[in-house]
Amino acid sequence: MIESLIKAQAYGLGFDLVGIARLGPAETAPVLDEWLDRGYAGEMGYMPRTAAKRRDARLPVPAAKSAVVVGMDYGGREPSGPVARYARGADYHDVLLERLRALHTRIDGIIGAHVTGKAYVDTGPILERDLAQRAGLGWFGKNTMLINPKRGSFFFLGELLLDLELEPDAPFASDHCGSCRRCIDACPTGAIVDERVIDSNRCISYLTIELRGEIPAEWHASIGEMIYGCDVCQDACPWNEKFSLPLREDAFRPRGAIADKDALTLAREILAMDDEAFRNAFRGSPMKRAKLRGLKRNAAVVLGNADGDSQRYRSAATSASP
């Protein structure tokens, strides 16, 4: 079967999960619309702008009929720290896209002709978790993460949309969260406002990455020592406690600018950085998304939390280039 050959090639390229889904209207489109209507996207204006395409997975690549959906683990057994685990090494967009494109080339070889298609990792107008659930890779946890029963949730998702009629895998139909509320109760800011609903305006990952202005003072104490992103709701999940795996992919190992540094050391180093030092330290890192100004803002909050005087660090935080 072509499907088995495709999956074998995907596993050979280093992906840890592989499933196949047929493209079509997203079952979670109404949930997206309600989430947007409530203003839970915050300043992420690209979400409403691309909502129409996200409602139907056939729209981003009009010729495509099927999706090969992959997952790649990034190490849920690594110790917690001031930077979320996913962002400590190389940019996952680049890592997964390179391998998805290699998979596309290998599929061309299997078919014996070029197959129209496109790879996406996170930035495309696609409801990735919807496709992943449809491809049998897991269910939506109450913290909104896709959870796989053998791996937990510490993995990236990517998709290769193809002009091929492939036999789809059975969707993941069951919900294994039960009555558990550990992720909801653990969230420092109460951002999980209902089961499987996150208000981005309160989420530490949003506040330290996507938000471009000042972080509201009401959330400073809750941010604690987190400089970039947050893993709290994943750390609290019993499925991760039991099934998350050690880091295997070298590309995601912590870079020198982060490795073995506590929050205060890292925060002080970030506040001292100029543009050149920032580029050298975070070249090829997903942390560049926050830009130097954003990282300095976050560092100032962390240092302010440590000594109770956030105002003391604001001038250094605002000295970075836009």
What secondary structure letter does DSSP report for 59? S
Query: Do residues 203 and 189 lie in contact, with contact meaning Cβ atoms separated by under 8 Å?
Result: yes
Helix or strand or coil: residue 67?
strand
- Tell how many helices (H) and how many strands (E) occur in the chain: 15, 8
**Is 122 one of the annotated active-site residues of the chain?**
yes
Chain-centroid distance of CA 229 in Å reads: 10
Query: Do residues 68 and 134 lie in contact, with contact meaning Cβ atoms separated by under 8 Å?
Result: no
Query: Do residues 178 and 195 lie in contact, with contact meaning Cβ atoms separated by under 8 Å?
Result: no
Helix or strand or coil: residue 305?
helix
User: What is the distance between the alpha carbons of residues 267 and 296, in angstroms, rounded to a whole number?
Assistant: 8
Annotated catalytic residue, options 56, 94, 108, 122: 122
Provide the Cα torsion 166, 103, 136, 190; round to 10°: -140
Burial class (CB in 10 A: 0-12, 13-18, 19+), 201: middle
User: What is the distance between the alpha carbons of residues 46 and 52, in angstroms, rounded to a whole number?
Assistant: 11
- Residues assigned a catalytic role: 122
